[in-house]
Amino acid sequence: MQTEPLKYGHFYHIYNRGIDSCNLFNKPDNYEHFLGLYDKYITPVADTYAWVLMPNHFHLLVKVKDEEEIGFIPVKPLSGFSTSERVGKGIISPSEVLNPDGGSIKKKYSPTNQFSHLFNSYAQAFNKRFGRTGSLFQHPFKRKLITNERYLKQVILYIHNNPVHHGFCSHPIEYPWSSYLSCVSIKATKLKRETVLGWFDSQANFLAMHREKGEYEKIERWLDI
């Protein structure tokens, strides 16, 4: 199934579940390992505004960085052609530039590929840990382009209340694997906490709106979960 690549500078609600609804996380260190890989693969290409990891699915609210903000991955030079020939023949794409040494090329991180690397890397580690084989995640990962602030706020409320909605706790603060705790904390975080609280005007309003009951079934029908 072909899907449109993630666009630079756009907000996305990214979500997925285990294949056949199998668990993605069995133990606390599974969650921690996923978050470590997330930082490795996603931080270079996107800013994170909200997230939740549930036993068999996850939700992320991210903004893909602008193209000029995203760095380059060193790539080994292609044999058989000089650098100028590679440029002339279109072998080097506009996202690739010469390294200072003039011999090899650099290729920009692809946001879409980075998410795929994250899921593939985690699946390999999970399968090895629990002696399973085959796909772990449904393919391809799902994403919704977000174009207005109202939906941004609704997605944040939905993400943080996902554990409540699915009966894991009675309030988001009780669930350890979401960004809610970072939003209400003063500890340093890579989460775009100040921007998130700004969308709700204040932390008090952020807390109050998280106590309200949302139309989560309606949102899930729209997401086709």
The pLDDT score that the predictor gives to residue 1 is: 46
Q: How far apart are the first and last CA of the chain?
A: 17
Token pair for residue 156?
């944040």
Which residue bears the tokens 């890397």? 121
Q: Give how far Cα 137 sits from Cα of 19, 51, 82, 104, 115, Å.
A: 5, 17, 41, 35, 12
pLDDT tens string, the chain, 225 residues long: the values are 457 899 999 999 999 999 999 999 999 999 999 999 999 999 999 999 999 999 999 999 999 999 999 988 766 555 555 556 655 555 555 455 555 455 556 678 899 999 999 999 999 999 999 999 999 999 889 999 998 888 899 999 999 999 999 999 999 999 999 999 999 999 999 999 999 999 999 999 999 999 988 777 777 777 776
User: Are the beta carbons of 162 and 52 closer than 8 angstroms?
Assistant: yes
Residue type present at position 111? P
In the chain, ranges of CATH 3.30.70.1290 domains: 11-65+110-223
For 108, phi then psi, to 5°, come to: -65, 145
The pLDDT score that the predictor gives to residue 217 is: 76
Q: What is the CATH number of domain 11-65+110-223?
A: 3.30.70.1290
d(CA 194, CA 192): 6
Record the pTM: 0.85
The pLDDT score that the predictor gives to residue 222 is: 72
Q: Is 132 exposed, middle or buried (0-12, 13-18, 19+ CB in 10 A)?
A: exposed
The pLDDT score that the predictor gives to residue 72 is: 84
The pLDDT score that the predictor gives to residue 150 is: 86
